[in-house]
Chains A and B, each alone.
Chain A
Amino acid sequence: MVFEDDETLRMYVDESLEHLSDIENDLLTIEEGGADIDEDLVNNVFRAAHSIKGGAGFMGLVVVKELAHNLENVLGMVRTRDMTPTPEIISILLKAFDRLHDLIENIHGSNDEDVSEHIENLITVTTGSLPEAEKDSVSSIVEIRHELSGTTFLVPQFDITQAKKQGKYIYIVEYDMIRDIQRKGKTPLDVISSLLNSGTIIDSRVDIDSVGTLDDDLPPKIPFKILFASIIDPDMAATLVDAPNENVYLVDNMMVSDTIIPIHETSGATVISVPARAMSVQKEAEPVRVQVEPVNVPVEKPVKQVIQDMADPMDVQDTKEEPRVVEGGGKGSQSSLRVNINLLDTLMTLAGELVLSRNQLMQGVSANNARATELSSQRIDMITSELQEAIMRTRMQPISNIFNKFTRVVRDLSKDLGKQIELFIEGKDVELDKTIIEAINDPLTHLVRNSVDHGIESPDIRMARKKPMTGKIVLKAFHEAGQVNIEIIDDGNGIDGDIIAGVSVKRGLITEQEKSQMSEKDKIGLIFLPGFSTAEQITDVSGRGVGMDVVKTNLDKLGGIIDIDSTVGVGTTFRIKLPLTLAIIPSQIVSIGSERYAIPQVNLDELLRIPAVQVKERIEKVGNADVVRLRGNLLPLLNLSELLDIEKTFIHPEDGRMHTDKRKTISDRRSRQLDEDAGEENKALEREHKAKRAPGDRRYRSASAINIAVVSAGNFKYGLVVDKLWDSEEIVVKPLGRHLSQCEGYAGATIMGDGKVALILDVASLARMGNLMTVSGKVMEKEGVKSKDIASDRSSLLLFRNAATEQFAAPLSLVERIERIQTKDIETVGGKRVIQYRGGTLPLHELSEVAKVKPLPEKDQHEVIVFKIAKKEVGLLVSPPVDAVEVDLNIDATTLKQPGIMGSIIVGDFTTLMVDMFDIVKILNPDWFFERESLTKKTKKTPENVTLLFAEDSAFFRNQVKGFFEDEGFKVLAAEDGSKAWDLLVEFADEISGVVTDLEMPVMDGFELSKRIKTSELYSHLPVIALTSLASEADMKKGLKSGIDSYEIKLDREQLVSVVKRFVLK
């Protein structure tokens, strides 16, 4: 007879779930406390069980009542310190509460569930701690009969004894559902909870039988009877329980029949979870008045042993219950949400203001008052943003909702696995959108399990590794840059990239060759590939087919990013970045033709616009793929219009009309073919083609510049070529209909300001569609190899003019700033030109003072390039345009060399003179360098007795840098490549006190050379300084691994010399 009132039942379920939500942590804290019992905490849990029991009786939920009741018994004993909460007992309690949670979630089917296992365990625990004489009381029920009201309760004797022991009176309180509850505007749950304030409810029941059938007259009353134990005096009772005096009966010993009815049929058999029907049958029948010996409970066993015995069946049950514990949060996505009342008030106010502003707007519009309309539209704009924010806040939930659960997960798992693990949780208050909270539950659980299972080692291994026995897992959440970061850090085993890569090769996920080209981080990243699991034996915990790939896919779906840092033997950090909310995301709007698309900002790294004139230099073709050079790295390109099969169009500058673009790929127009097969014939063709191009060719117009959105999907980057880049906008994500579900590449759609729909791009799927995911590593690596052969040193240069016809360049690394000054501000002091600048004086020079070049034209204002030489700033007056380019440094160091000019280079079809700033400063301000030289004299070693080994393949640099060192007085042995350098090193080992090497060289590169030096016994003491034109982070890392002591930029003479001195002359 489950109570049919849906409203009441739902309230009960909601309330009970709320009671249960904190129990897990409370119990775990109680467990930690051990014998030192925190009464408040135990009371909390006890009250929760008790309220659930109270309500269940009223609702006719017999099974729930039974389970809650037994839980209450155990907790009651913990509270009275009759029992110490050992981990075993807590385990039983936790599992029983889990079950209770399940029952309540599926409340309608709860009466048919079998919970005997849990009840038995609980009873065993209870009896175990009872004095011998009382043991029977738990399993026996007594009948309480009140003749006057015709009430019979069948309750465990244990309850009565416990109540009496605590000096409580036992009452039967009879409420009339209609008169005492409904008419007073109360609900039955109110009554129950008010009773719970002053005592405990042993049993409760609605006496439906006395209501009669429909044929009878309207029932005079619906009695709701409660067996209530309280310390309240009998004369006070009626007032306190708020029931008519005549309906409160004190139960005296007379009423308690001495009849003992056993619950158990036979020893060890299941408990009869007296179903409702049976109850009523029993009630109708005469109470059995036969004394039966309770032979059921294994009283003779000490409790410890009982628990030991129970361990086995519990383990079995463990495996089948495990998934439920974990998925609980995921599947039970709540349909109702608690919202702070203040927030609701704010929303109300905002809604009110919105209405007011709308009225103003309507008035403004109808009165044709532009000013009023504008004002109100501004107001509406403001209110809308506020409203959006407030509504978002209602969806925000603290992450503790899922974090707290992990205490239990870690506890249970580590126990199963025999590990000692402590979980630290930080940032519980961080709030996330409800949907995200629900969606990250599974991935997070998987990661935590992974850390427990594969991360933390077993205690003996930890001992052997001299780590603390107890492993540590830190779960951390924090806000950063508008995103929520979650970190799962363990101090365990770490992930060995090589093993991962090895397994991947074995499973055919990557090739041996790819493996050899992968960085450590890439290798670790392989665990996200589908079909990967390193667990050597599949344990219950991980390796159920749900791999890291699922974690990644789930996070991808949320617009999240996952990243792993791991050091073998030290630990692993999983880093997850999540958007605060899914509903509104900042996005970059791009367009192809007339259609707009949105790229979520989380996926966007940067925007790149390659001017028409540079397309040729920067975009290249490898095989079928286009790549762009971006700060020394090659970035694969995907053409969005190709990918989505959109007809490419362009607006022809002459007629202004839309034309179909006939070019197949970006590189079709002007980029060099890196294809080695492209023989002479092609080149000849290309030349011819070039000649045909008129200067006004459409392809060179600014409109045909290439716009690239550099996006990252996970730890992989690529460039998406689009027609146009628009603004960044906050967009509202809307789902696409079912007829579009088969379209990959979209994460949804949004509505733009003009009311049209724009599709949201899913960059990860796009990469897959463009076959980038699988081959990316290959393409990039191959490209790297190829370009190494072709490209010599690339370097960033600053281009400028002196006279309008001559182009000059200087290494960008030497440039501090570029300023524009007024000619009238230049002062001539002591024969030198200076300008007041940032509170000091900046000496100004122009190239014609030193080199034989045309003089600077007279103008009102000048561009000044500020260099820093010998720790002093010096300005060089130049003419615009000033521009930065990245070029191959194919410097001709002879033809055009002169004072102040290193040589020449061809940039963009112009012969460009490379300016040697040191030379210029040396010629103009020779005294600047004296100071430095005198400084070096003070050190013990002087450059004169030091020999440097210098390896560099480019003749220009070899001479240039050799010159730097020789100017300082060093002796220099120069070699063309690493292998020649090694030979020299072996030959002149005694003299050489430092090695300076280029990184990219034929035969043996700088990495290899330094590795050799650092691993040899003879030479490992030698400092190795690497010279590079572009120091990428990856190179740095690689370099550090091979033992390189320092990285220096090739043409930064100042810095290079000082670093070499520091290393060599110490």
Chain B
Amino acid sequence: MSQVKSKHAGADMLELATFYVGEALCGIDILNIQEINKQIDVTVVPQSSDYVKGVLNLRGKIVSVIDLGEKIGLSPITAHKDNRNIIVNSHDEHIGLLVDRISDVMVADPSRIENPPANIGGIQGRYFEGVFKTDTSLIGILDIEEVLKE
């Protein structure tokens, strides 16, 4: 978190892009996100792990699309017109995270982010950097690197 904070030294606020994986509301620091798109028509890669949905062409780059639900131990994302691909950058590689639907961008005060509990909505705590409570909801802030571990 310290790293995230320092990025926002000026504003001192963290902007979270939030989305739903199943029923769980998750968030990622918006600065980690390359783009969000609707390209969910992927090329299936036979023999790959179950959580790899396939690959798609992102302006000439081959991007692996990962079913975020399956990856973090929930049920697979159900196909729906609201499904989105969140393209993040990890280890010099673009990776798409398939999520059920996108929610708002929230501004979070880093000082109000708490340590994650062992389990959020059926998702193991190790996938989270922390939790952020708003008046109405609880946002689990995903640790992208942990989520993307093979």
Inter-subunit contact A737/B46 (CB<8 Å): no
A525 to B64, CA, bound (A): 38
Inter-subunit contact B43/A734 (CB<8 Å): no
**Residues of chain B contacted by A734 (CB below 8 angstroms):** 60-62
Interface on chain A toward B: helix, strand, loop, or mixed SS? Answer: loop
Inter-subunit contact A740/B45 (CB<8 Å): yes
**Residues of chain A contacted by B2 (CB below 8 angstroms):** none
A764 to B66, CA, bound (A): 28
- Give 9 CB contacts A-B under 8 Å: A734-B60, A736-B45, A738-B91, A739-B150, A743-B48, A744-B47, A751-B57, A757-B42, A757-B62
**Residues of chain A contacted by B45 (CB below 8 angstroms):** 736, 740, 743, 746, 759
Contact A751 to B62, CB < 8 A, known contacts A736-B55, A742-B150, A757-B56: yes
Map CB proximity to A onto B62-96 as digits: 1 under 8 Å, 0 otherwise. 11101000000000000000000000000101010
A584 to B66, CA, bound (A): 28
Asked if A756 is an interface residue, CB under 8 A from chain B, the answer is: yes
Closest chain-A Cβ to B118's Cβ sits at a distance in Å of 26
Inter-subunit contact A749/B62 (CB<8 Å): yes
Inter-subunit contact B43/A735 (CB<8 Å): no
Contact A737 to B55, CB < 8 A, known contacts A751-B60, A751-B62: yes
Query: Of A595, A645, A741, which contacts B43 at CB under 8 A?
Result: A595
A738 to B66, CA, bound (A): 12
Inter-subunit contact A756/B43 (CB<8 Å): yes
B51 nearest in chain A by CB position:
A739
Central interface residue in A741, A751, A755, by most chain B CB within 10 Å: A751
Inter-subunit contact B64/A739 (CB<8 Å): yes
Inter-subunit contact B93/A737 (CB<8 Å): yes
Closest chain-A Cβ to B54's Cβ sits at a distance in Å of 8
A737 to B63, CA, bound (A): 7
Inter-subunit contact A645/B56 (CB<8 Å): no
**Residues of chain A contacted by B148 (CB below 8 angstroms):** 739
Map CB proximity to A onto B32-55 as digits: 1 under 8 Å, 0 otherwise. 000000000111111111011011
A755 nearest in chain B by CB position:
B57
Inter-subunit contact B46/A644 (CB<8 Å): yes
A-B contact count (CB 8 A): 70
**Residues of chain B contacted by A741 (CB below 8 angstroms):** 150
Asked if A791 is an interface residue, CB under 8 A from chain B, the answer is: no
Query: Of A595, A740, A755, A757, which contacts B48 at CB under 8 A?
Result: A740
Closest chain-B Cβ to A256's Cβ sits at a distance in Å of 59
Query: Of B41, B52, B61, which contacts A739 at CB under 8 A?
Result: B52
Can you add 12 more A-B contacts, CB < 8 Å, to A734-B61, A737-B62?
A595-B44, A644-B46, A645-B47, A737-B95, A739-B49, A740-B48, A746-B45, A751-B60, A756-B43, A757-B42, A757-B62, A758-B43
Contact A740 to B60, CB < 8 A, known contacts A746-B45, A759-B43: no
Within 8 A of B (CB), among A713-764: 734-746, 749, 751, 755-759
**Residues of chain A contacted by B46 (CB below 8 angstroms):** 644-646
Inter-subunit contact A737/B43 (CB<8 Å): no
A: which residues have CB within 8 A of B? 595, 644-646, 734-746, 749, 751, 755-759
Inter-subunit contact A745/B47 (CB<8 Å): yes
B: which residues have CB within 8 A of A? 41-49, 51-52, 54-57, 60-64, 66, 91, 93, 95, 148, 150
Inter-subunit contact A738/B55 (CB<8 Å): no
**Residues of chain A contacted by B51 (CB below 8 angstroms):** 739
Contact A740 to B43, CB < 8 A, known contacts A749-B55, A755-B57: no
A421 to B95, CA, bound (A): 54
A385 to B60, CA, bound (A): 17
Closest chain-A Cβ to B90's Cβ sits at a distance in Å of 9
**Residues of chain A contacted by B48 (CB below 8 angstroms):** 739-740, 742-743
A757 to B64, CA, bound (A): 11
A451 to B60, CA, bound (A): 44
**Residues of chain B contacted by A742 (CB below 8 angstroms):** 48-49, 150
**Residues of chain B contacted by A740 (CB below 8 angstroms):** 45, 48, 52, 55, 64
**Which 3 A-B pairs give the minimum distances between C-beta atoms?**
A644-B46, A737-B64, A757-B43
A355 to B148, CA, bound (A): 40
Closest chain-B Cβ to A737's Cβ sits at a distance in Å of 4
A1047 to B34, CA, bound (A): 69
Inter-subunit contact B150/A736 (CB<8 Å): no
Closest chain-B Cβ to A641's Cβ sits at a distance in Å of 8
Closest chain-B Cβ to A15's Cβ sits at a distance in Å of 31
Closest chain-A Cβ to B115's Cβ sits at a distance in Å of 28
A769 nearest in chain B by CB position:
B47
**Residues of chain A contacted by B93 (CB below 8 angstroms):** 737-738
**Residues of chain B contacted by A646 (CB below 8 angstroms):** 46
A759 to B57, CA, bound (A): 12
A733 nearest in chain B by CB position:
B62
B90 nearest in chain A by CB position:
A738
Closest chain-A Cβ to B63's Cβ sits at a distance in Å of 7
Closest chain-A Cβ to B70's Cβ sits at a distance in Å of 12
Inter-subunit contact A644/B60 (CB<8 Å): no
Closest chain-A Cβ to B114's Cβ sits at a distance in Å of 30
Closest chain-A Cβ to B46's Cβ sits at a distance in Å of 4
B47 nearest in chain A by CB position:
A743
A737 to B42, CA, bound (A): 14
A266 to B34, CA, bound (A): 66
**Residues of chain A contacted by B61 (CB below 8 angstroms):** 734
Inter-subunit contact B57/A756 (CB<8 Å): yes
**Residues of chain B contacted by A736 (CB below 8 angstroms):** 45, 55, 62, 64
A645 to B43, CA, bound (A): 15
**Residues of chain B contacted by A743 (CB below 8 angstroms):** 45, 47-48
Closest chain-B Cβ to A884's Cβ sits at a distance in Å of 37
Closest chain-B Cβ to A50's Cβ sits at a distance in Å of 43
A745 nearest in chain B by CB position:
B47
A1037 to B49, CA, bound (A): 48
A758 to B150, CA, bound (A): 23
Inter-subunit contact A735/B62 (CB<8 Å): yes
A743 to B51, CA, bound (A): 13
**Residues of chain A contacted by B66 (CB below 8 angstroms):** 739
Central interface residue in B52, B55, B60, by most chain A CB within 10 Å: B55
A734 to B43, CA, bound (A): 14
A641 nearest in chain B by CB position:
B46
**Residues of chain B contacted by A755 (CB below 8 angstroms):** 57
**Residues of chain A contacted by B49 (CB below 8 angstroms):** 739, 742
Closest chain-B Cβ to A944's Cβ sits at a distance in Å of 71
A788 to B135, CA, bound (A): 82
A734 nearest in chain B by CB position:
B62
Closest chain-B Cβ to A738's Cβ sits at a distance in Å of 6
B39 nearest in chain A by CB position:
A755
A595 to B63, CA, bound (A): 17
B56 nearest in chain A by CB position:
A757
Closest chain-A Cβ to B78's Cβ sits at a distance in Å of 20
A751 to B54, CA, bound (A): 14
B52 nearest in chain A by CB position:
A739
A734 to B94, CA, bound (A): 13
A751 to B55, CA, bound (A): 10
**Residues of chain A contacted by B91 (CB below 8 angstroms):** 738
**Residues of chain A contacted by B63 (CB below 8 angstroms):** 737
Inter-subunit contact A644/B47 (CB<8 Å): yes
**Residues of chain B contacted by A756 (CB below 8 angstroms):** 41, 43, 57
**Residues of chain B contacted by A749 (CB below 8 angstroms):** 43, 55, 62
A757 to B60, CA, bound (A): 10
A974 to B95, CA, bound (A): 75
A858 to B148, CA, bound (A): 76
A1064 to B81, CA, bound (A): 84
Contact A757 to B47, CB < 8 A, known contacts A734-B62, A735-B62: no
**Residues of chain B contacted by A735 (CB below 8 angstroms):** 62
**Residues of chain B contacted by A746 (CB below 8 angstroms):** 45
A948 to B52, CA, bound (A): 72
B66 nearest in chain A by CB position:
A739
A759 to B54, CA, bound (A): 10
Closest chain-B Cβ to A730's Cβ sits at a distance in Å of 15
A583 to B77, CA, bound (A): 35
**Residues of chain B contacted by A737 (CB below 8 angstroms):** 55, 62-64, 93, 95
Central interface residue in A738, A739, A740, A759, by most chain B CB within 10 Å: A739
